[in-house]
Structure formats: structure tokens, C-alpha cells
């Protein structure tokens, strides 16, 4: 029996999605290697193995694709974090688990890790994707009396600055053990958890990062 093929329109849409994802992943790779200041369209399309003109079927400029690559890859990871820690009841475990997962992901997927470092901790995509999640988790900890924070927004900014530094340290010093736990412990202490308890919470086993349907990743801007 002949396997039924998807409609032509569906195949075309899938090809377009995969081409778009190739352009985004190529952008992530180039930024991870050289930062954002010296990249041109022809380099992105050469890395993606598509014609230069194809770029403009999807993006209007270098700034456009950089913004999309940052926002979509972080939002995709942020959604995975939400799924992974959703069953945790203790705000301290949620805060620690989310931060540790980001560090672990960045160190395991080094293209994304260096992309994250090179775009900077103050990038708007970071603040618009991870920012509301971090603020939500911190505010929950304050509301439940678990955290002691005078300024939640300042705590978010401090956490992101330290996150970028922790990822860069882990990438440049791969022999350093437990980078995720060291970072999480520091961020737990920042919100008022005692050092001994912070060390304990930061060392809890982590649930697997739920990145979703792996079969669909070919059309996603995630490494």
C-alpha cells in the first residue's frame, strides 16, 4: 500500500520553515564565533547553503535576523524550562532549577552558549523572554515568604548579568566542575536563602529539560 503523501502546500510550508530555521541556526553559529558586529548576509546564506537572495524572502536585514534568532531561540528554551520545572512546589527549587538548566544547556550546546554570551546580558530578547519568567518566579518566592528581595526587577537584572558571566566562565574553563550549581547557589543566596540551604537546593537532582517534539526541531531555530 502506497504511503499517503502530505498535500503539496504542506510540503512547501515545511520546506520554507526548514530554510528559515537554517538561516537562523547559521546566524547563531556566526554570532557564537565572532559576535554581532561583523556579520553580513552573504556569510549567513553561505553557512546555510542557500542563495543570497533567499535571505530576503524571510528577513529584511541583519538586525532583523539577529533579533529573531535571539528572541525565538530564547523563547523556545524558556518554554522548555516552564515545562521542566512545572511540578516543583518550592519557589527556591524552581528558581534554582531554571537557572541551572540554562547554564547546563549553554555548556552542552556551545553554539547557543556563545551566542548567548556574545549578544550580552542586556539584550532585549533576554529581557522579553526570560525576564518575565524570572520576575514571576522571584515574585512567587516573595509572596510565599521564601525569598527576601527589596527590588525584584533589580534582582532579575543581577541574575542575568551573573548568568552571562557564569556561562562564559563555564565555556572558557570546561574543567570547572558544577558551574550550574555554583551559580544557582549564589543566586539563591542573593534572594535570601542561607548558604547551607542554598548549597543543598542547588545540588538537588534536576528533571530532564523538556524541549518538546524532537522531530520538529528541523524547523525550529534551536540548536
pLDDT at 51: 93
pLDDT at 1: 47
The mean pLDDT value for 102-106 works out to: 95
To 10 degrees, what angle do helices 91-108 and 124-143 make?
150
Q: Smallest Cα–Cα separation from 205: which of 109, 131, 100, 92?
A: 100
pLDDT at 75: 92
Whether the CB-CB separation of 159 and 134 falls below 8 Å is answered with yes
The mean pLDDT value for 177-200 works out to: 97
Whether the CB-CB separation of 85 and 208 falls below 8 Å is answered with no
CA distance 8 to 164: 44
Ordered by where they begin, the domains of the chain are 11-207 (1.10.357.10)
Whether the CB-CB separation of 66 and 120 falls below 8 Å is answered with no
pLDDT at 3: 52
Q: Smallest Cα–Cα separation from 84: which of 205, 221, 219?
A: 205
The mean pLDDT value for 64-92 works out to: 92
CA distance 136 to 130: 10
Whether the CB-CB separation of 189 and 195 falls below 8 Å is answered with yes
Q: Judge whether residue 218 has pLDDT over 80.
A: no
**Tens digits of residue pLDDT in 11-57:** 888 889 889 999 999 999 999 999 888 899 999 999 999 999 999 99
Cell output for 99: 537557572
pLDDT at 164: 95
**Tens digits of residue pLDDT in 126-180:** 889 999 999 999 999 999 999 999 999 999 999 999 999 999 999 999 888 899 9
Please state whether 35 falls in left (phi above 0), alpha (psi between -120 and 50) or beta: left
Contacts of 33-40 spanning 24+ positions with Cβ under 8 A: 33/114, 35/118, 36/66, 36/118, 36/119, 39/66
Q: Smallest Cα–Cα separation from 24: which of 75, 58, 60?
A: 58
Comparing 4-8, 168-172, 192-196, which segment has the lowest mean pLDDT?
A: 4-8
Whether the CB-CB separation of 79 and 132 falls below 8 Å is answered with no
pLDDT at 215: 44
pLDDT at 122: 81
Amino acid at each position: 500500500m502506497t504511503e499517503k503523501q502530505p498535500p503539496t502546500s504542506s510540503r512547501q510550508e515545511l520546506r520554507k520553515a526548514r530554510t528559515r530555521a537554517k538561516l537562523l541556526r547559521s546566524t547563531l553559529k556566526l554570532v557564537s564565533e565572532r559576535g554581532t558586529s561583523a556579520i553580513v548576509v552573504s556569510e549567513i546564506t553561505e553557512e546555510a547553503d542557500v542563495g543570497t537572495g533567499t535571505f530576503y524572502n524571510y528577513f529584511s536585514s541583519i538586525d532583523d535576523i539577529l533579533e529573531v534568532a535571539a528572541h525565538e531561540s530564547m523563547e523556545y528554551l524558556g518554554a522548555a524550562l516552564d515545562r521542566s520545572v512545572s511540578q516543583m512546589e518550592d519557589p527556591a527549587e524552581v528558581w534554582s532549577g531554571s537557572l541551572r538548566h540554562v547554564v547546563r544547556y549553554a555548556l552542552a550546546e556551545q553554539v547557543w552558549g556563545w551566542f548567548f554570551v556574545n549578544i550580552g546580558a542586556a539584550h532585549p530578547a533576554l529581557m522579553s523572554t526570560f525576564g518575565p519568567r524570572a520576575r514571576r518566579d522571584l515574585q512567587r518566592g516573595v509572596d510565599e515568604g521564601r525569598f527576601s528581595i527589596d527590588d525584584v526587577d533589580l534582582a532579575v537584572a543581577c541574575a542575568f548579568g551573573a548568568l552571562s558571566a557564569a556561562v562564559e566562565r563555564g565555556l572558557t574553563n570546561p574543567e570547572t566542575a558544577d558551574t550550574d550549581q555554583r551559580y544557582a547557589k549564589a543566586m539563591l543566596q542573593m534572594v535570601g536563602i542561607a548558604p547551607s540551604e542554598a548549597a543543598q537546593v542547588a545540588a538537588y537532582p534536576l528533571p530532564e529539560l523538556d524541549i518538546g517534539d524532537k522531530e520538529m526541531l528541523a524547523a525550529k531555530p534551536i540548536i
